[in-house]
Amino acid sequence: MIVCGDDGLAHRLAAELRGVYGEQVTLVVPPSGRRVRQPVVGRARAASAALLDRVSAAVNRTGASGEPAANEQVVEAAEVTEAVLTEVGADRAAALALVYDDDETNIRAALTARRLNPRLRLVLRLYNRRLGQHIEELLDQTAAVASGDGQGAGLDASTTVLSDADTAAPALAATALVGTSKVVQTEGLVLRAVERQPPRPGEVADPGLCTLALLSATSNDPAGADGSEGSGEQGPRLLPDEAAVAAATGRGTVVLEQVSYSGPSLPTGRGGVPPFASLFSRRLRWSLAGLVGCVLALAVALMFVTGEHPLYATYVTLLDLFGINDPAYHASTGRQVLQLLSGLVGLLLLPVLLAAVLEALGTFRSASALRKPPRGLGGHVVLLGLGKIGTRVLTRLRELHIPVVCVESDPEARGMATARRLRVPVVLGDVTQEGVLEAAKIHRAHALLALTSADTTNLEAALYARSVRPDLRVVLRLYDDDFATAVYRTLRAAHPFALTRSRSVSHLAAPAFAGAMMGRQILGAIPVERRVLLFAEVDVAGHPQLEGRTVGEAFRAGAWRVLALNTAPPGGRRGEEESPEGEGASPASGLVWDLPPTYVLGAGDRVVLAATRRGLAELLGRRRRERAGA
């Protein structure tokens, strides 16, 4: 396995391949002097960032003895050229991951690698999803043509394009929502999991649809280790069996709350057309309503004075209003008074109509401009940073119809266009300066998502927000996983009654990239404290742990659990007449949920399962050994 990258994701991915899958890894990184460093934004301290970089490099690149791991080879190269790929053995490698922060660098290296080895499995990190689809099709077609028959029969090569932003965004967005802490979404498939508080003594935790994990026994301790790998039985337990759930009194659970299919949703305010209510200010709307009320009152009065039909009385009132009726010289006194009042109302109507036209024009002109947080806004999410991660999280939040206020220091940031399109309020300014978070209504916010590219900036903003609102829900994006754990424990000890979550993007994204390198389709990842639960779509054929077994027999506690069956007919799948019946069937997605434990998994089935990283590695490793033996 070869991993090429220039940031923490490359090191985390290499560690994932070594520790979970036991693979021999060659890590290609830039020379020390040219390695990408975290930007320091605002008043973030440069010394802290430099120290963090040195600690991160020491943790990621060396083992306990200060040397690279035994099954890892580190090669320093300024660029991934054909000579470098040949030197690291790309012509005979099983898989290559290109996880540089620059899309163009990854594409150029992928084209070179595919030419060197058509059978090489490629995993690319690309932010541009549309370009990624085209690149994936191009590289797969190249591999098929190189196989000789143009179809790629028997060829194990494949190309997978992933984005660390897309992989981490659901978990970051979901952590800020009420009642939802874990979400995996892909092509309309939505898996939602929630953390439930530990039951009282003598009670049994409610398993919901399915119990995915038991939280660590120290999760209620403000200084708990948050499920560290060395916590043993006190740490979180992924995919427990029924006996473990029944015996887990006093421990919280992560349960599957909802599994549904949702079609594509259109973003709010598409096309830049504002809703009708936003064309006019509240004061102007009240003025128009008052004038309409005056006209109706004059029409009713005229009807009583003259005894005319209501429609005719209204018509005459409008004529008097616009000054086009004949003067009522010989009419009664009441009629003359009403005509004078109608003329006066007509004079008041003219400036109101002019103001309405000007406001409407101004609203349309500013539809593409940045909006300011409206007065009285509350219960919203304050999102700091509109970079790659922040833009994806913003899109997720708006799809869930969550009110958001963004804070960004760069007017030309990547996500500014998305904020304009979605008509999301944006505050321009440095989050470390006084008054910026106040302008975002942080004192009335429901949650804070600190997603800038500088750890110290995120931490400083979180600490200031805590001083304003001690009970505020805070989610921090932190570059280094060890630093994220330390920040979480400290903030939780200082604010035991407030929800704090620290998330490392590389920690959330690495399992999906590693699974793709091993040839496994990873639908998503759900973080459970400091561990990760993977959701994958797996062909039953070739897996003795699944094929020919019932759903109940296929379940292995702490390793994997079958959640759903894909009944789609293409690819030799089982027909509808043999598919199990159940209320969870979704015709749009071809998935059947709530499978009966007695249902037998056949060779033509494809299942969606939840698995630990080591459990998925065991499933894949056995099949790879069988292929190698054949």
Give which of 439, 497, 442, 483 is closest to 464, Cα–Cα: 442
As a dihedral over the C-alpha atoms of residue 112, residue 116, residue 118, residue 124, rounded to 10 degrees, the angle is: -30
Q: What is the reported pTM?
A: 0.62
The DSSP result for 408-458, as a single string, is ES-TT-TTHHHHHHTT-BEEES-TTSTTHHHHTTGGG-SEEEE--S-HHHH
What does the pLDDT read at residue 83?
Answer: 93
Q: How large is the angle between the packed helices 505-517 and 8-19, nearest 10 degrees?
A: 50
d(CA 393, CA 384): 11
Residue 422 contacts residue 267 (beta carbons within 8 Å): yes
Give the number of other Cβ atoms within 10 Å of residue 584's Cβ: 17
Q: Which residue has the tokens 């009335």?
A: 444
pLDDT at 422: 85
Q: Which residues contact 417 (CB under 8 A, 6 or more apart)?
A: none
Residue 239 dihedral angles phi and psi, to the nearest 5°: 50, 60
Cβ atoms within 10 Å, residue 570: 6
- Nearest CA-CA partner of 244 in 532, 558, 551: 558
Please report the pLDDT score of residue 129 as a whole number.
81
Which residue blocks in 422-574 are alpha helix, DSSP H? 436-439, 455-468, 481-494, 505-517, 551-554
Counting Cβ atoms within 10 Å, is residue 66 exposed (0-12), middle (13-18) or buried (19+)?
exposed
Helices (H), 151-255: 164-175, 242-247
The C-alpha R_g of the chain, in whole angstroms, comes to 31
Q: Is 397 within 8 Å of 267 (Cβ atoms)?
A: no
H/E segment holding residue 387 = none
Residue 527 tokens, joined: 């973080």
C-alpha 456/C-alpha 507 separation (Å) is: 18
Distance CA 368, CA 423 (A): 8
Nearest to 475 by CA among 393, 395, 413, 531: 393
* Ranges of the chain whose pLDDT falls below 50: 36-66, 152-155, 178-181, 187-188, 221-230, 259-274, 367, 570-588, 623, 625-630
Q: Judge contact between 415 and 392, C-beta under 8 A.
A: no
What are the backbone dihedrals phi and psi of residue 297, each rounded to the nearest 5 degrees, phi first? -65, -40
Strands 25-29 vs 121-125: parallel, antiparallel or unpaired: unpaired
Q: By three-state DSSP, how is residue 26 classified? A: strand
Closest CA to 212 of 170, 171, 240: 240
Structure tokens that stand for 166 in this block? 């897309």
CA distance 171 to 345: 58
**Angle, vertex CA 46, rays to CA 413 and CA 392, nearest 5:** 30
**Cβ neighbour number for residue 560 with a 10 Å cutoff:** 26
At residue 96, the pLDDT reads: 93
**What are the tens digits of pLDDT across the range 460-483?**
888 888 888 888 888 888 776 667
Q: Are strands 500-504 and 473-478 parallel, antiparallel or unpaired?
A: parallel
**Residue 580 gets which letter from DSSP?**
P
- Picking from 530, 451, 442, the residue whose alpha carbon sits closest to that of residue 488 is 530
Cβ–Cβ under 8 Å, residues 121 and 149: no
* Predicted local distance difference test score (pLDDT) of residue 446: 85
Q: Judging by beta carbons within 10 Å of its beta carbon (0-12, 13-18, 19+), is residue 343 exposed, middle or buried?
A: middle
Beta-strand runs (E) in 187-325? 189-196, 211-214, 237-238, 253-261
